[in-house]
């Protein structure tokens, strides 16, 4: 018996001659945030549709809160936010949320606190046609919070939002996770989800090519770490002569080293003492890891 909310085992989905998903296995625990990454056509939307019970697998198994997707139990446990939410433009935010509240069997008194929580209390009685995209996404998050869902499926939740709206949206998502909701975020915004998720799953051509924490992905990839030193005035030549590397903008020296060589390299840098004014250490980011695991850096 597992406590995982979403369980995917050897999942496969075929559309005619096209294998949309092949032998995909992953799981998602309560309060965990999983970033599902992949190019267009990689299988992200297919996986979400399978979790929602909108389509059936051709192989393997998928369960939501121990139930088969599409059943009443699975639907009651699941919240879904599509990339482009669509609400009736003539309704107010409060009226639209009240409709969803009634459909969910919740008391209408929850509308006010939910709208307050997502930062829409000031616009609750405005028509949705006057809302910005960020406000509509917040209303969608309010809908997703109804009934304290055990699983939230979010498809490109921050698409088209400005930086402030993106920050606010992810703060709301973090709040869902803190309350125990398992959150799956399908996204193309790699740098954005890098700091906002606990685990990362990468799909490529329907296959799961990586599934781990960011630290685990870095360890497995063994990609080089970038160290950039800023030399004291007039010391760049000596720093490069003693450490090697490449000169950048005259006063900086950039070195690439394997992960297992990082501490030895830092020791050599420390031995230079006053010759070094500053040091930046940059491990491979999620964008570089994505290209590595999806095979794009080999094309």
Q: Which alpha helices (DSSP H) does 104-246 contain, by range? A: 111-117, 133-144, 163-178, 190-194, 214-221, 236-243
pLDDT value at residue 1: 43
33: β partners: 183
Measured distance CA(148)–CA(47) in Å, rounded: 22
Asked whether residue 297 carries a pLDDT value surpassing 50, the answer given is: yes
Q: Is the pLDDT of residue 253 over 60?
A: yes
> Domain-by-domain residue ranges, the chain?
6-89+140-219, 224-283
> What is the mean predicted confidence (pLDDT) over 220-242?
91
DSSP 147-171: T--SEEEEESTTTT--HHHHHHHHH
Whole-number percent of the chain with pLDDT over 70: 98
Block residue for tokens 């939740």: 157
- The tokens for 94 are 């409060």
Q: How confident is the model at residue 58 (pLDDT cuts 50, 70, 90)?
A: very high
CATH topology of domain 6-89+140-219: Rossmann fold (3.40.50)
- Check whether 160 has a pLDDT greater than 90: no
The label of the residue with tokens 């307050």 reads 116
First-to-final CA distance of the chain: 43
Give pLDDT, residue 11.
96
Asked whether the domain spanning 224-283 has the same topology as the one spanning 6-89+140-219, the reply is no
- Is the pLDDT at 83 greater than 50, yes or no? yes
What are the strands, taking DSSP E only, across 2-112? 6-15, 18-28, 33-37, 59-64, 78-81
Query: Which residues fall within 8 angstroms of residue 276, CB to CB, at 6 or more apart?
Result: 229, 230, 231, 232, 235, 239, 269
Structure token pair of residue 290: 């994505």
Distance of CA 256 to the CA centre of its chain: 28
Backbone angle region of 227, left / alpha / beta, with phi > 0 → left and psi within -120 to 50 → alpha: beta
Q: Which of 22-36, 133-147, 215-229 has the lowest mean pLDDT?
A: 133-147
Helix (H, G, I), strand (E, B) or coil at 73: helix
CATH (one of 3.10.180.10, 3.40.109.40, 3.30.70.120, 1.20.120.530) for 224-283: 3.30.70.120
The predicted-structure confidence for 13-46, as pLDDT tens digits, reads as follows: 998 888 999 999 999 999 999 999 998 889 999 9
Bridge partner list, 11: 24
Instruction: Return phi, psi of residue 251, to 5°.
Output: -100, -5
């Amino acid at each position: 018996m597992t406590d995982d909310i979403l369980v995917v085992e050897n999942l496969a989905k075929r559309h005619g001659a096209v294998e949309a998903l092949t032998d995909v296995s992953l799981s998602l625990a309560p309060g965990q945030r999983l970033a599902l990454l992949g190019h267009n056509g990689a299988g992200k939307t297919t996986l979400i549709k399978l979790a929602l019970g909108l389509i059936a697998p051709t192989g393997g198994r998928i369960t939501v809160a121990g139930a088969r997707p599409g059943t009443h139990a699975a639907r009651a446990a699941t919240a879904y936010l599509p990339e482009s939410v669509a609400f009736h433009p003539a309704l107010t935010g409060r009226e639209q949320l009240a409709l969803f509240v009634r459909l969910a069997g919740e008391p209408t008194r929850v509308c006010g606190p939910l709208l307050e929580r997502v930062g829409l209390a000031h616009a609750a009685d405005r028509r949705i046609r006057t809302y910005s995209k960020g406000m509509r996404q917040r209303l969608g998050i309010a809908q997703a919070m109804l009934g304290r869902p055990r699983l939230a499926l979010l498809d490109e939740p921050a698409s088209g939002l400005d930086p402030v709206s993106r920050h606010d949206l992810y703060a709301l998502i973090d709040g869902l996770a803190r309350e125990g909701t398992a959150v799956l975020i399908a996204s193309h915004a790699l740098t954005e989800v890098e700091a906002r998720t606990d685990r990362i799953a990468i799909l490529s051509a329907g296959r799961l090519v990586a599934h781990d924490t960011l630290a685990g992905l870095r360890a497995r990839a063994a990609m080089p770490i970038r160290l950039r030193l800023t030399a004291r005035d007039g010391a760049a030549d000596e720093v490069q002569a003693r450490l090697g590397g490449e000169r950048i903008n005259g006063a900086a020296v950039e070195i690439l080293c394997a992960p297992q060589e990082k501490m030895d390299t830092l020791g050599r840098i420390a031995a230079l003492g006053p010759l070094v004014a500053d040091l930046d250490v940059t491990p491979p980011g999620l964008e570089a890891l994505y290209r590595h695991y999806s095979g794009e850096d080999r094309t």
